[in-house]
Homo-oligomer: A and B are copies of this chain.
Amino acid sequence: MGMKIGELSRATGTNVETIRYYERIGLLPAPSRTAGNYRDYSQTHLDRLNFVRHARGLGFDIADIRSLLNLAEQPDRDCGEADKIASGHLKSVEAKISRLEQLRSELKHMITQCRGGQVSECRIMEALGDHDHCSTAHVPNGILS
């Protein structure tokens, strides 16, 4: 009746393996199966997967998406929760941007300092080796990811 996993994959631009992964972690409900044990998806699944892909495209992590999906299933609740999740994510995006801008300027500086020549006099290598020069040491893990 519905669509097979390959069709859902094409319809949403999602890798087949990723769809099965989402099912395994409980992000998508397990669909019914055909006689030959193929997954048989409905419009509901399509909508939900599109929701997930949009949210992932906006960089929400899967925990956030779970919360957003729960909210979507309770249309009468206040949407403050959704706002909170989105605002929190926006903040983390902004933090990443400013961190990356800092990296960009340090890298640019390093690169313009390098005027060619031998490794032994390369400013890039010097900057990396110098113990006291780099402002990027001791950055909490994972802020870049």
A104–B57 Cα distance when bound, in Å, is 12
Copies in the complex: 2
Chain B, residue nearest A107 (CB): B90
> Which residues of B sit under 8 angstroms from A124, Cβ to Cβ?
79, 82-83, 86
- Known contacts: A59-B144, A100-B96. The answer to whether A129 contacts B50 by CB under 8 A is yes
Residues of B within 8 A of A136 (CB): 54, 57-58
A120:B76 contact, CB within 8 angstroms: yes
Q: Are B97 and A50 in contact (CB under 8 A)?
A: no
A57: chain B residues at CB < 8 Å are 134, 136-139
Within 8 A of B (CB), among A56-82: 57-59, 68, 71-72, 74-80, 82
Minimum Cβ distance to chain B for residue A69 (Å): 9
Bound Cα distance from A110 to B136, whole angstroms = 33
A116 x B72 contact (CB < 8 A): no
Interchain residue pairs with CB less than 8 A apart (28): A13-B138, A47-B131, A50-B129, A51-B128, A54-B127, A54-B128, A57-B137, A58-B103, A58-B128, A58-B134, A59-B103, A72-B125, A75-B119, A76-B118, A79-B119, A79-B121, A82-B114, A82-B122, A82-B124, A82-B125, A86-B110, A90-B104, A93-B103, A93-B104, A96-B100, A97-B101, A97-B104, A100-B100
